[in-house]
Amino acid sequence: MYDGERIRPAYEQVMDWVRRTPAEQLALKKAEAEALFRRIGITFAVYGEGGDTERLIPFDMMPRVFTEAEWRRLERGVKQRSRALNAFLYDVYHRSEIVRAGKIPADLVYRNEAYEAAVVGISPPGGVYSHIVGIDLVRTGPDEFFVLEDNCRTPSGVSYMLENREIMMRMFPELFRTSRIAPVDDYPDRLRRTLASVAPGKCEGEPVTVLLSPGSFNSAYYEHSFLADQMGIEIVEGQDLFVQGDFVYMRTTEGPKRVDVIYRRIDDSFLDPLCFRPDSMLGVPGLMNVYRSGGVTICSAPGAGVADDKAVYTYVPDMIRFYLGEEPILKNVQTWKCSDPGDLKYVLENLGELVVKEVHGSGGYGMLVGPKSTREQIAAYAERIKADPADFIAQPTLALSTCPTFVDDGLAPRHVDLRPFCLVGKEVHLCPGGLTRVAMREGSLVVNSSQGGGVKDTWVLAD
Partner 1 sequence: MLSRTAENLYWLARYMERADTMARLLEVGYRMALMPSAGAGYRNEWASLIAAAGSSEGFEAKFGDEFRQRDVETWLFYDRENSSSVLSCVETARQNGRAVRTALTSEMWDALNGAYLELRELERQPRTDDLLPQLCDWTKRQSALLRGSTEGTHLQNDGYDFLNLGYHIERADNTARLLDVKYYVLLPTLDMVGGTVDTYQWTTLLRALSAFRSFHWAYGSEYSPRKISHFLILNRACPRSLLHCHDKVSFHLNRLANAYGRTTCAHERMRGALAELTDMDLDAIIDAGLHEFLTRFIHQNAALGQDVADGYLFGVQ
Q: Which of 14/233 has CB closer to partner 1? A: 233
Please state the closest distance from residue 52 (CB atom) to partner 1, in A: 10
Minimum Å gap between C-beta 258 and partner 1 is: 14
Q: What angle do CA 121, 126, 132 make, to 5 degrees?
A: 100
Q: Are 116 and 303 in contact (CB under 8 A)?
A: yes
Q: Which residues pair with 429 in a beta bridge?
A: 423
Q: Name the residue type at position 444.
A: S
Site residues for partner 1 per CB under 8 A: 38-41, 215-216, 221, 225, 228-229, 234-237, 239-240, 250-254
- Closest separation between CB of residue 190 and partner 1, Å? 19
What's the closest the beta carbon of residue 246 comes to partner 1, in angstroms? 22
**Residue closer to partner 1, measured from CB, 75 or 223:** 223
C-alpha 238: how far from chain center: 23
User: Which CB, 214 or 302, lies closer to partner 1?
Assistant: 214
Nearer to partner 1, 34 or 318 (CB): 34
Report the residue number, 19 or 39, with the smaller CB distance to partner 1.
Answer: 39
Minimum distance from residue 255 beta carbon to partner 1 (Å): 8
In this structure, how many other beta carbons lie within 10 angstroms of the beta carbon of residue 188?
Answer: 20
Q: 398 by DSSP, 3-state: which?
A: coil
Give the Cα separation of 295 and 287 in Å (integer): 9
Do 191 and 231 meet the contact criterion of CB atoms below 8 Å apart?
Answer: yes
Q: Which helix (H) or strand (E) segment is 76 a member of?
A: helix 68-92
Cβ contacts of 368-374, under 8 Å, gap ≥ 24: 369/397, 369/445, 369/446, 370/397, 371/397, 372/443, 372/444, 372/445
> Measured from the CB atom, is 215 or 396 closer to partner 1?
215
Smallest distance from partner 1 to CB 306, Å: 33
Q: Could you tell me the smallest distance in angstroms from the CB atom of residue 247 to partner 1?
A: 17
The Cα–Cα gap between 197 and 194 comes to: 5
Beta carbon nearer to partner 1, 42 or 147: 42
The C-alpha R_g of the chain, in whole angstroms, comes to 22
